[in-house]
Amino acid sequence: MRTLVTLAVLVTALLGTLLIGTRFSDASLTPKLALDLEGGTQVILRPVAQDGEQVTAEAIAQAIDIIRQRVDASGVAEAEITSQGGSSGGTNIVVSLPGEPDQATLDLVRESAQMLFRPVLTYNTPGVTEPTTAIADLADPADASDLAWLTQDVLDTFAALDCTDPANLTGGSSASGAQDAPISACDQQGAFKYVLGPVEILGNDIDSASSGLRVGPTGALTNEWVTNITFTSAGTSAFRDVTTRLLALESPRNQFAMVLDGLVISAPAVNNVISDGRAEISGTFTRESAALLAQQLNFGALPLTFEVQSEQQISATLGSEQLQKGLLAGLVGLILVALYSLVQYRALGFVTIASLVVAGVITYGLITLLSWTQGYRLSLPGVAGIIVAIGITADSFIVYFERVRDELRDGRSLPAAVEEGWRRARRTILASDAVNFLAAIVLYFLAVGGVRGFAFTLGLTTLVDLVVVMLFTHPLLIVLARTRFFGEGHRLSGLDPEALGARSRYVGRGKVVPAGSRAFPGPGGPPDETSGDDGAPLVSDDADPRRLTIAERRAAQQRASQATVDRKDV
């Protein structure tokens, strides 16, 4: 009973937050919709290379990656980013953002991305860390690796930087910082955070980069994937100075960070002075990751700026008709589910329906809340995911009810069967939900784009399923088990021990208790109407006679003819 109140408080709090949000902030009572359902803003960008060189297809692919990283990390779900080759020549990038994106998001999309090399001063775990105190009297920094760059301001910014927050992984020019000052930066995956010294080498100083298998000292190919960088003549001398200085320093100051669009993509340590402008980065590379780094470095060698060609409102790609018909279909399906569970589980079916309604209210509330606070947007696949969740949520109840029925078949009384059935069903429900939740978490953190939206919906509905079955269905069933209608197994309750083929049960000392009744009625419980007046064993006459001894059967028949209380009339 207490858990039911807790749930009521939670749901009220959820809806209350929304209502207050609507009144005092910009929340609304309906979730925001994604591009396919609502339309949005389409920005067409023309990438322009700084030196007027030809823009390669790889550079476009890399630019799309960078824009996607910015958009995904800024919390805008379900943006579409494609390349568009016009008949007039040249390739454009088309970014479609759902709804009406704010100016900050639009600015983020059209900024140019830069590749910069900075020396590492210190690094830490990605979360918020304890602030440290700077060295008392700081001389003017002698070079880019000097620890004198770590002023109190820099250290405080660094301590407060939380790279586990996706909002800090957007990159962009604000994250890139001023070139002559130290910055605090996140690893692109959010695995580390760094304090980096002033910029030493610009992306333009890279001539080209490639990946391949490492060539061993004897000239033979080894099994190790590496990325090779060739610098321009300006870059060669700058890189020689940097490697000479860093080689003498202790870890982590012997590392230099490659910063693309304000995020650290790699921070290798210097192993020897490189004076010929040909550097080799080795490490735990696979073929793909080595190629990716090379692609990013090549992009850095030829930075692109984006010119906005057009910025227009576009309508939903799916007609509003699609959504309406889809919802109608879902509704018809739900009614069928309700009918089916009523046929299968009789009155217990109402528990299923009530639970699904509660789950629906919580899911709707959470999605609306998240679309207000986190910018979550509901797409058509998301709607479909929720409709599928009906099945998975209802399955928890079905597993639970079937377990309770199994326990009733074993001859337990209803309250005991609910208790025992719950104990077993809970294990199953937790195990299977854990698997679903794991899928959601892994896909959410590792995937991008639409898959991410799907993972979010899956995780959300799994959690709602757990909350509903724990805080609503189970407590409700405990309460119902105490009522006469369910507790005594009315024919329409769906828990009729007779229909479930329950057996009478031997409870010791010569007593057999008919199925479904309480063995030892508690002081507060209803009187056990089926036990005989004299407390002698009483066996209901509907039980299978083959299981009784002849003497028992005769005694039962005799008593039944005398008994004033007939079980069937109760």
* Interacting residues with another protein between 436 and 475 (CB under 8 A): 436, 438-439, 442-443, 445-451, 454, 458
Least distance in angstroms from the C-beta of 406 to another protein: 6
The amino acid at 318: L
Number of amino acids touching another protein (CB under 8 A): 94
Per CB under 8 A, the segment of 61-69, 119-127, 149-157, 172-180 that binds another protein is: 61-69
Give burial (CB, 10 Å; 0-12/13-18/19+) of 326: middle
Among 86, 127, 526, 535, binds another protein (CB under 8 A): 86
Considering only residues 341 to 370 of the shown chain, the ones binding another protein according to CB under 8 A are 341, 343-344, 346
- Three-state secondary structure call for residue 56: coil
Task: Indicate the residue among 83 and 204 with the shorter CB distance to another protein.
Answer: 83
The amino acid at 147: L
CB 515 within 8 A of CB 503: yes
Q: Does residue number 308 form part of the binding site for another protein (CB under 8 A)?
A: no
- Residue spans of alpha helices (H) in 374-493: 380-409, 414-446, 450-468, 474-481, 484-487
Task: Indicate the residue among 214 and 511 with the shorter CB distance to another protein.
Answer: 511
Least distance in angstroms from the C-beta of 51 to another protein: 24
What are the start-end ranges of the E strands in 173-303? 183-187, 193-196, 201-202, 206-215, 221-231, 256-260, 263-266, 278-281
Task: Indicate the residue among 85 and 131 with the shorter CB distance to another protein.
Answer: 85
Task: Indicate the residue among 240 and 426 with the shorter CB distance to another protein.
Answer: 426
Considering only residues 176 to 235 of the shown chain, the ones binding another protein according to CB under 8 A are none
- Using alpha carbons only, give the angle 364, 369, 374 rounded to the nearest 5 degrees: 125
Least distance in angstroms from the C-beta of 409 to another protein: 6
Among 10, 55, 334, 560, binds another protein (CB under 8 A): 334
Task: Indicate the residue among 447 and 563 with the shorter CB distance to another protein.
Answer: 447
Q: Does residue number 555 form part of the binding site for another protein (CB under 8 A)?
A: no
Q: Does residue number 94 form part of the binding site for another protein (CB under 8 A)?
A: yes
Task: Indicate the residue among 220 and 431 with the shorter CB distance to another protein.
Answer: 431
Considering only residues 377 to 396 of the shown chain, the ones binding another protein according to CB under 8 A are 380-381, 384-385, 387-388, 390-392, 394-395
Q: Does residue number 553 form part of the binding site for another protein (CB under 8 A)?
A: no
Among 522, 546, 562, 569, binds another protein (CB under 8 A): 546
Q: Does residue number 325 form part of the binding site for another protein (CB under 8 A)?
A: yes
Considering only residues 497 to 536 of the shown chain, the ones binding another protein according to CB under 8 A are 499-501, 503-506
Among 82, 222, 271, 373, binds another protein (CB under 8 A): 82
Q: Does residue number 319 form part of the binding site for another protein (CB under 8 A)?
A: yes
Which tokens go with 521?
A: 């009625």
Among 278, 423, 484, 547, binds another protein (CB under 8 A): 547
Among 398, 463, 478, 563, binds another protein (CB under 8 A): 398
Least distance in angstroms from the C-beta of 283 to another protein: 18
Going residue by residue from 420 to 439, which x/- string records binding to another protein, judged by CB under 8 A? Answer: ----x--xx--xx-xxx-xx
CA torsion angle 343 344 346 348 (round to 10): -140
Q: Does residue number 322 form part of the binding site for another protein (CB under 8 A)?
A: yes
Least distance in angstroms from the C-beta of 559 to another protein: 18
Task: Indicate the residue among 243 and 379 with the shorter CB distance to another protein.
Answer: 379
Task: Indicate the residue among 447 and 555 with the shorter CB distance to another protein.
Answer: 447
Least distance in angstroms from the C-beta of 58 to another protein: 12
- Using alpha carbons only, give the angle 351, 352, 353 rounded to the nearest 5 degrees: 90
CA nearest 303: which of 171, 83, 115? 115
CB 158 within 8 A of CB 195: yes
Least distance in angstroms from the C-beta of 220 to another protein: 30
- Using alpha carbons only, give the angle 405, 406, 412 rounded to the nearest 5 degrees: 85
Please provide the distance, in angstroms rounded to a whole number, between the alpha carbons at the two ends of the chain: 28
The reply to whether omega before 537 is within 30° of 0 (cis) is no
CB 435 within 8 A of CB 395: no
The amino acid at 544: D
Considering only residues 268 to 307 of the shown chain, the ones binding another protein according to CB under 8 A are 288
CB 97 within 8 A of CB 76: yes
C-alpha to C-alpha distance for 508 and 189, rounded to whole angstroms? 65
Task: Indicate the residue among 123 and 299 with the shorter CB distance to another protein.
Answer: 299
Task: Indicate the residue among 17 and 42 with the shorter CB distance to another protein.
Answer: 42
Among 19, 328, 479, 536, binds another protein (CB under 8 A): 328
Give burial (CB, 10 Å; 0-12/13-18/19+) of 43: buried
C-alpha to C-alpha distance for 153 and 161, rounded to whole angstroms? 12
C-alpha to C-alpha distance for 117 and 209, rounded to whole angstroms? 14
Task: Indicate the residue among 144 and 404 with the shorter CB distance to another protein.
Answer: 404
CB 460 within 8 A of CB 439: no
Least distance in angstroms from the C-beta of 229 to another protein: 22
Q: Does residue number 406 form part of the binding site for another protein (CB under 8 A)?
A: yes
The two beta strands, 221-231 and 278-281, are antiparallel
Which tokens go with 158?
A: 């660094």
Per CB under 8 A, the segment of 36-44, 201-209, 235-243, 253-261 that binds another protein is: 36-44
- DSSP character at residue 526: P
CB 188 within 8 A of CB 263: yes
